[in-house]
Amino acid sequence: MLITLAHIGPKAAKTSARSHYEALTRLYCDRLQSYHPCQSEAFPTESAFLAWLAHPQSSKSTRTPILPVLLDSRGRALSSPELAHWLGARRDQGTQHIVFAIGPPDGWSAKALTHAALQLSFGPITLPHELARLVLAEQLYRACTILAGHPYHSGH
């Protein structure tokens, strides 16, 4: 199952603070590779992201439908074990490609939210997009370790 971390915004980090977040996000994506292939995608606009969902350009995803998960403060807050259970259920159902996407600064449009298989929330707090991507990457890695019975997740 391919996991894509997508976001609306620039591709490359322009400041050193952003590059630190990017390095840590890559660290968790690299760790995630032990369980599932993981890639990152950046889109300049929400409409570019929605067009990609409809017609993905990646050779890995052109033949399989994409299951979009949109991060949104109005979405469903899941604990780490609940996220692991949700991810494991998708894996067991044969899902081939899940895209976890962080939206534009003003949030996802109503149109975009209609495409979501799941609207996922990290709670009512507002996070900088770089930090949200890092938290997302870590939580996906944690979910995979929970499913594998790895001791990384100690339950607190």
Decide if 111 is inside a domain. yes
> What's the CATH code of the domain at 90?
3.40.1280.10
Q: What is the DSSP letter of 12?
A: S
Q: What is the pLDDT of residue 63?
A: 62
Residue 61 scores a pLDDT above 60: no
Q: Which long-range contacts (CB under 8 A, 24 or more apart) does 83-91 make?
A: 83/120, 83/139, 83/140, 83/142, 83/143, 84/142, 84/143, 84/144, 84/146, 84/147, 84/153, 86/118, 87/140, 87/143, 87/144, 87/147, 88/143, 88/147, 90/1, 91/1, 91/147
Which token pair is 2? Answer: 């391919």
Number of independent structural domains in the chain: 1
Distance CA 102, CA 35 (A): 22
The per-residue pLDDT for range 111-125, each reduced to its tens digit, is 999 999 999 999 988
Decide if 17 is inside a domain. yes
Question: 53 lies in which domain range?
Answer: 2-148
Decide if 155 is inside a domain. no
Residue 92 scores a pLDDT above 90: yes
pLDDT, the chain, mean: 90
pTM over 0.85, yes/no: yes
Decide if 123 is inside a domain. yes
Choice among 4-13, 48-57, 72-81 with the minimum mean pLDDT: 4-13
Decide if 154 is inside a domain. no
CA-based nearest residue to 100, from 133, 138, 125: 133
Can you tell me the mean pLDDT for 103-132? 94
Decide if 114 is inside a domain. yes
